[in-house]
Structure 1
Amino acid sequence: MLAQQEAAQVSEEEQAHLAQVRKPQYIKQIVANACGTMALLHALANVTDLCADGENGNYREGTFLHRLVSLYKDEGKTPEQLGEFLNEDEELERVHNMFATSGQSNMDENTRFHFVAYVNLAGTIWELDGRRSAPLQKGDCTNETFGIKIAELLQGYVQMDNSCAFSLMALAPDMGQ
């Protein structure tokens, strides 16, 4: 399925160039079979305004997410350096292993399943897949049309793969306020 998706998209080199314009926080996946964790971290790292504590839109100082976002924003670390940080972080490894071994599925190196994150950053939809060389720009949206645009993207993937074998998770503001 990934090969079909890539064939229908603009080349990664062109996407890497576009990513320089409005660049999301992107992390290169180094650890095998950690794509679910990577997708969640990509989402959380790019929606600090929705998830962060404090008035300035940052995660609480000293937390893992604060350290991760600071490495990118304050220190200018590359996606590969951020991937190495994740690979070497003992706290993340402990938490990841705790959840990875407590689930209902077996860890299989030959799995067909994969997780990516989609974020709306300044009116642009980005696909963040740690296996790629750069984030992929998937189109424009507003906060109001983001969900609709993602549904359209996913419908295209379902049609290409002729399968509905996927899961979704959304990070969104509390609309009940």
Structure 2
Amino acid sequence: MVRWLPLESNPAVMNKFMSGLGVPASWTIHDVYGLDDDMLAMVPQPVCAVILLYPFSDKQEDFKKKQEEEQETAGGDIPENVYFMKQFVGNACGTVALIHAVANNRDRIELSDGALKEFLDKTESMNPEDKGHALEGDDGISKAHEESAQEGQTEAPDREAQVNEHFVAFVHKDGKLYEFDGRRKFPISHGDASADSVLADAAKVCRQYMDRDPDESRFAVVALACSE
């Protein structure tokens, strides 16, 4: 398996990464310092995506497996107009989450020419597996990822090290809130939502993650918001 250096849940690192890929400066990552209404009100609006970093645990994995089975039984599939990719590159979950966040908001985020626009244009009609394999061989995105991963506040772990945290993205699409995780078979629907309620709706799901592991502190939440 191809393995990259893990990306830190750090707005400065993520913003430099996205800027280098052609994401306009008006759309940036911001820390979400808490999930109550007062803390959410501090996040710039509009928000188009929320990204959660959570620690792996048996509780989380068992729940997610059951959740996926239930959605599959109910006819789980990949909705039309949704960009979803599988993750085959080790430690690339941060980049995959950012790609999901941007790719599903291209009606709002106008990408400049660069590695990300080129990748999305090339892979748009591919199935999720082929999208994931395309990332394995994409030099532009992998180079930008590696450069950003080495700029975090903490020393980057060895690329072969076992990383016990994982990024997922939450995005509103066609009236629903979807959770995007490249380790899953399809995006997970969290029910009705609107473009204006993405932050509040995603915060509810993030709280559920935290409630499943109440003794765990290694959670981090950031939002992709328009800062103009």
Q: TM bucket by the smaller chain? A: 0.7 to 0.9
Higher strand share: 2
Q: How many residues align structurally?
A: 166
Q: Deviations over 1:69-122 (max 9, x none)?
A: 22343xx21111111111101111211111112222432532221101110001
Which amino acid letter does the alignment assign opposite residue 122 of structure 2?
L
TM-score, structure 1 as length reference: 0.82
- Residue 31, structure 1, aligned to residue 89, structure 2: yes
Q: Is the 8 A contact 1:128 1:136 kept in 2?
A: yes
Higher helix share: 1
Q: Is the 8 A contact 2:78 2:84 kept in 1?
A: no
Distance in 2 of aligned mates of 1:87 and 1:16: 32
- Residue 67, structure 1, aligned to residue 125, structure 2: no
TM-score, structure 2 as length reference: 0.65
Aligned match of 1:114 in 166, 175, 182?
166
**CA 1:15–1:95 in 2, change beyond 3 Å: closer, same or farther?**
farther
Residue number in structure 2 paired with 1:173: 226
Residue number in structure 2 paired with 1:77: 126
Distance in 1 of aligned mates of 2:99 and 2:73: 21
Query: Tell me, which stretches of 5 or more residues in structure 2 are unaligned?
Result: 1-56
* Structure 1 stretches of 4+ moved >3 Å: 15-23
Higher normalized contact order (CA 8 Å, seq sep 6+, divided by chain length): 2
Distance in 2 of aligned mates of 1:101 and 1:144: 34
Residue number in structure 2 paired with 1:93: 142
Aligned match of 1:134 in 172, 178, 186?
186
SS in 2 for 1:18: coil
Q: Deviations over 1:123-159 (max 9, x none)?
A: 1111111111221111111123222211111111111
Segment of structure 1 superposing worse, 63-72 or 124-133: 63-72
Q: Deviations over 1:41-85 (max 9, x none)?
A: 111111112221xxxxxx34x422222222343xx2111111111
Distance in 2 of aligned mates of 1:28 and 1:16: 21
Q: Is the 8 A contact 2:170 2:178 kept in 1?
A: yes
Q: Is the 8 A contact 1:124 1:141 kept in 2?
A: yes
Instruction: Give the CA RMSD over aligned residues.
Output: 2.3
Q: Is the 8 A contact 1:43 1:119 kept in 2?
A: yes
Q: Is the 8 A contact 1:39 1:115 kept in 2?
A: yes
Query: Tell me, which stretches of 5 or more residues in structure 1 are unaligned?
Result: 53-58
